């Protein structure tokens, strides 16, 4: 069974078609990259996967649960991280993690917080207000929040935004290890092409609400005759024909 | 603890932790009720001194009105401001992608409003006793029924406000502070409904508060308990609460259709 199954999904806001009839599936344990320029429909797609947004048409199933009728069963086994959605600034990091430990009904919350602090190097931050942290520290804390319930499906929006190269690499290694150990399915929206190339099994290239191409990073590189995904991304964004030079 | 109770507690813990870390927020809870008590208490004491024993009863009615109306006001603000805290901290996205059900959110907000109301009103009750020898509890157990009805009224008003915030965004947040003040003239807090012009009286009687305050004045004057008014208040609360719950459910779904849950603070 696919961990995520999306069929004929679209979202219309008035005259604007933000997502236009997309289909995709993510096998359990895979990492899917969602790529596209601003306004391509990535955030709208993620919001629909999380149940924050009701699709205009189409169907989403996560871990076998229809998101239209049974989203809470799926949400208990999912989680989400985005630098654009904050955690309460005045609460300490530990308090924030405790809140989400309760919301996700995590057993042995304190032990889980200690484990995450070990793994993401948060021990020095636990008693500090979340609002006092640097951007990189906030990203690590947001990642810890997204892992508090050991999710089976993890949706990440720009997971290494604002991180220095060393910390970014640490987070990527950690995500790779977490996926290998837990069998978690990850859907990742990122503008960091090297990150997508490293982490993702499949890449969905979005433009104007549609999936305009898809495949493994190596397939896409071969198909577009490029050396890196950034060049592929630019080819698609600028409507260059495959294999054309700039 | 069941999963639902734990989720409710999780959201309550988020707000309690906030208060633990912010003494200005704690101070603000008691500031207005205490200030109101001082202003109205001294004013009423002045008039009571000039009008004799009838004035003493009037003093009691005014102070009782101030304190019980604060129960409704603080209950309403308790729900609305706790919801607004999630918007101000841009945390709604995380809350709504957790398994927290909308009804659990409402229960958590209501539970927080009870705590906020108690923290705000109890100091004013003590002040009324210390400064004016007015004992709110002298009304007897019926006071609990008055307070419960006013709390419920505060909750359905705030559910209506939260629904408007879901519909119109944070631009509607000023309503959290103003709506119940706007209802005050019709709630017959400080005067009987009969004082209102005839065409306004049906509006007053559509509000549970008017029935509660008619009952409160009778209790302070030592008359019999007006069970009819209490029953009317309870029935109206039931109807208004059901309507506000439906409105909230409808606006929550509409916000999910419009994508407002992510952009509500903008």
Q: Which of A80, A99, A187 to mutate to test the interface with B (most CBs of B within 10 A)?
A: A99
Q: pLDDT by residue (tens digit) across B173-186?
A: 888 888 998 999 99
Tell me the mean pLDDT in the region B230-237. Answer: 97
For residue B21, give how far its alpha carbon lies from the nearest alpha carbon of chain A (Å).
7
B14 within 8 A of A82, measured Cβ to Cβ? no
Cβ-based contacts of A89 with chain B (< 8 Å): 89
Tell me the mean pLDDT in the region B217-233. Answer: 88
The mean-pLDDT minimum among A180-184, A228-232, B219-223 falls in B219-223
A204 within 8 A of A38, measured Cβ to Cβ? no
DSSP A228: S
Contact A86 B90 (CB under 8 A): yes
Say how far apart CA A210 and CA A191 lie, in whole Å.
17
pLDDT score at B116: 94
Say how far apart CA B124 and CA B136 lie, in whole Å.
10
Which residue would you say has higher pLDDT here, A67 or A244?
Answer: A67
For residue A242, give how far its alpha carbon lies from the nearest alpha carbon of chain B (Å).
35
pLDDT score at B48: 78
The chain-wide mean pLDDT, for chain B, equals: 91
pLDDT of residue A62 exceeding 50, the answer is: yes
B114 within 8 A of B75, measured Cβ to Cβ? yes
Say how far apart CA A4 and CA A61 lie, in whole Å.
6
pLDDT of residue B54 exceeding 80, the answer is: no
pLDDT of residue A245 exceeding 70, the answer is: no
Place of tokens 């871990």: A63
Cβ-based contacts of A54 with chain B (< 8 Å): 253, 256-257
Q: How would residue A246 be classed by pLDDT, with cut points 50, 70 and 90?
A: very low
Domain that holds residue B248: 3-263
For residue A177, give how far its alpha carbon lies from the nearest alpha carbon of chain B (Å).
24
Tokens of B141: 């157990």
A91 → closest Cβ in B14, B96, B262: B14
Counted domains in chain B: 1
Closest residue in A to B6 (Cα–Cα)? A102
ipTM score = 0.89
- A212 in B contact zone (CB under 8 Å): no
Tell me the mean pLDDT in the region B179-199. Answer: 93
Grouping H, G, I as helix, E, B as strand and the rest as coil, residue A149 is coil
Tokens of B136: 């709110």
Contact A50 B97 (CB under 8 A): yes
Tell me the mean pLDDT in the region B207-235. Answer: 91
**DSSP line for B149-169:** HHHHHHHHHHHHHHHHHHHHG
Query: Per mean pLDDT, which of A74-88, A97-111, A178-192, B87-101 is the most reliable?
Result: A97-111
Report how many Cβ contacts below 8 Å link chain A to chain B.
Answer: 99
Closest residue in A to B8 (Cα–Cα)? A103
pLDDT score at A171: 85
pLDDT score at A86: 82
Whole-model pTM: value is: 0.90
Q: Counting beta carbons within 10 angstroms of the beta carbon of residue B39, is it exposed (0 to 12), middle (13 to 18) or buried (19 or more)? A: exposed
* CATH number, span A1-77+151-246: 3.40.50.300
Tell me the mean pLDDT in the region A40-44. Answer: 91
The mean-pLDDT minimum among B53-67, B83-97, B98-112 falls in B53-67
Say how far apart CA A112 and CA B206 lie, in whole Å.
52
Q: pLDDT by residue (tens digit) across B71-100?
A: 999 999 999 999 998 888 888 888 999 999
């Amino acid at each position: 069974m696919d961990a995520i199954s999306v069929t004929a999904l679209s979202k219309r806001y008035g005259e604007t078609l933000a997502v236009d009839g997309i289909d995709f599936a993510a096998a359990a344990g895979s990492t899917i990259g969602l790529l596209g320029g601003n306004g391509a429909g990535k955030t709208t797609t993620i919001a629909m996967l999380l149940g924050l947004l009701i699709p205009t048409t189409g169907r989403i199933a996560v871990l076998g649960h229809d998101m239209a009728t049974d989203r809470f069963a799926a949400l208990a086994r999912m989680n989400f991280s985005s630098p654009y959605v904050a955690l309460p600034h005045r609460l300490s990091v530990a308090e924030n993690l405790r809140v989400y430990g309760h919301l996700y009904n995590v057993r042995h919350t304190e032990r889980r917080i200690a484990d995450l602090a070990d793994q993401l190097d948060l021990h020095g931050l636990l008693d500090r207000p979340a609002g006092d942290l640097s951007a990189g520290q906030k990203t690590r804390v947001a990642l810890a929040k997204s892992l508090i319930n050991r999710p089976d499906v993890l949706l990440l929006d720009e997971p290494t935004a604002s991180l220095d190269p060393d910390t970014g690499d640490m987070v990527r290694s950690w995500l790779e290890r977490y996926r290998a150990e837990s069998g978690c399915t990850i859907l990742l929206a990122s503008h960091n092409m090297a990150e997508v190339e490293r982490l993702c099994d499949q890449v969905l290239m979005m433009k104007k609400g549609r999936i305009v191409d898809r495949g493994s990073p190596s397939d896409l590189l071969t198909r577009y005759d490029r050396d890196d995904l950034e060049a592929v991304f630019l080819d698609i964004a600028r409507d260059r024909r495959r294999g054309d030079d700039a | 603890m069941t999963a639902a109770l734990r989720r409710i507690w999780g959201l309550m813990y988020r707000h309690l932790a906030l208060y633990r870390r912010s003494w200005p927020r704690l101070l603000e809870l008691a500031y207005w009720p205490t200030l109101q008590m001082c202003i109205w208490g001294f004013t009423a004491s002045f008039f009571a001194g000039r009008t004799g024993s009838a004035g003493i009863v009037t003093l009691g009615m005014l102070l009782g009105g101030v304190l019980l109306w604060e129960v409704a006001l603080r209950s309403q603000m308790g729900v609305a401001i706790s919801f607004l805290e999630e918007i101000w901290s841009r945390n709604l996205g995380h809350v709504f992608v957790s398994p927290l059900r909308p009804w659990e959110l409402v229960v958590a907000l209501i539970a927080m409003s009870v705590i906020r109301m108690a923290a705000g009103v109890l100091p004013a009750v003590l002040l009324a006793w210390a400064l004016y020898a007015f004992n709110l509890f002298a009304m007897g157990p019926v006071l609990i029924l008055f307070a419960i009805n006013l709390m419920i009224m505060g909750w359905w008003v705030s559910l209506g406000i939260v629904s408007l915030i879901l519909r119109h965004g944070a631009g509607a947040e000023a309503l959290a502070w103003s709506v119940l003040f706007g209802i005050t003239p019709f709630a017959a807090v400080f005067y009987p409904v009969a004082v209102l012009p005839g065409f306004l009286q049906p509006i007053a009687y559509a509000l549970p508060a008017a029935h509660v305050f008619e009952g409160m004045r009778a209790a302070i004057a030592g008359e019999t308990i007006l069970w009819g008014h209490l029953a009317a208040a309870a029935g109206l609360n039931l109807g208004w609460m059901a309507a506000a719950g439906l409105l909230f459910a409808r606006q929550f779904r509409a916000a999910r259709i419009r994508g407002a849950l992510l952009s509500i603070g903008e």
